[in-house]
Homo-oligomer: A and B are copies of this chain.
């Protein structure tokens, strides 16, 4: 095993669900994400050296921090005879619906694997990332899958074979708007209906089928319409996002083709055909929030095809 002394990795934010694709679709976002730096230490286990950018909100206990859990799990997968000191630099707001915990976990797993000369192929890190994600939001791959592997992914299980890359329409741009309101994933899950009518199930399967078909045809107008055609999850969560109707209206008036809740929210993801429109949409949506005294941050982005990446390795 190659034994480097330190490594740094970046893992992208993710938009899970893509509207109607609850728990089965997700995409990786260009440029936005978390960074983890690990230093080899002779003693086994994971020590959290520092966390930057979380305003002290994330647990420092390695058993409860997703980056540390993923690092420890990756060390186990590697059969490593060493441990790591880990520094997590949060580029993502917490509980924002952008896969913050997943990005931390993925960056940590990829960084630890880089210490060992990337001994494991990327997809073999998935179990370590899932183990970490389970600590905070359940054993789901809809954020860790695209963060680790990049692109737009269909996730129908928790093994790497259950994750499939879908085509990325070249003109797909995103405006991501995160208001300063808290929507914990646990609460966003609690409001979901426990049973769905057969009629609504048929509607949801049809809309998901249209999403996949539209991705293959590169038709982002139909893609946006189909993503928005969710009649099960969004209606249950809409009250957690103040002014959702007004925000959608403002986004579309500014040129967005559609707007959905990113993951469990509160971040909103608007589908746009170019960066200029996406910027205008982000400004328009933020203006609605700000008129209500809610501050917000916005990012204009596209799909990160590659997923997590090693930034630096020191031998």
Contact = CB atoms under 8 A, between A and B. Distances in A.
Interface of A: 20-25, 154-156, 164, 166, 192-198, 200-202, 204-213, 216, 232
Given A192-B198, A195-B197, A197-B194, A205 B154 contact: no
B202 A201 contact: no
Contacts of A20: 205
Given A21-B209, A206-B156, A209-B21, A232 B164 contact: no
Query: 3 closest pairs, A vs B, by CB?
Result: A156-B206, A212-B212, A195-B195
B196 A201 contact: yes
A22 B202 contact: yes
Nearest to A212: B212
The CB with the most chain B CB atoms within 10 A, among A20, A196, A198, is that of A198
Given A198-B193, A205-B205, A213 B22 contact: no
Within the oligomer, what is the number of copies of this chain?
2
A24 B209 contact: yes
Given A154-B213, A210-B154, A210-B156, A24 B192 contact: no
Nearest to A194: B198
Contacts of A210: 154, 156, 164
A208 B22 CA distance: 13
Contacts of A209: 21, 24-25, 154, 156, 208-209, 211-212
A74 to B, nearest CB: 27
A197 B205 CA distance: 14
Contacts of A211: 209
A127 B24 CA distance: 34
Contacts of A204: 201, 204-205
Contacts of A23: 202, 206
6 contacts: A22-B202, A24-B202, A156-B206, A194-B197, A205-B208, A212-B212
Contacts of A195: 195-198
A164 B210 CA distance: 9
B196 A24 contact: no
Nearest to A23: B202
A210 B192 CA distance: 24
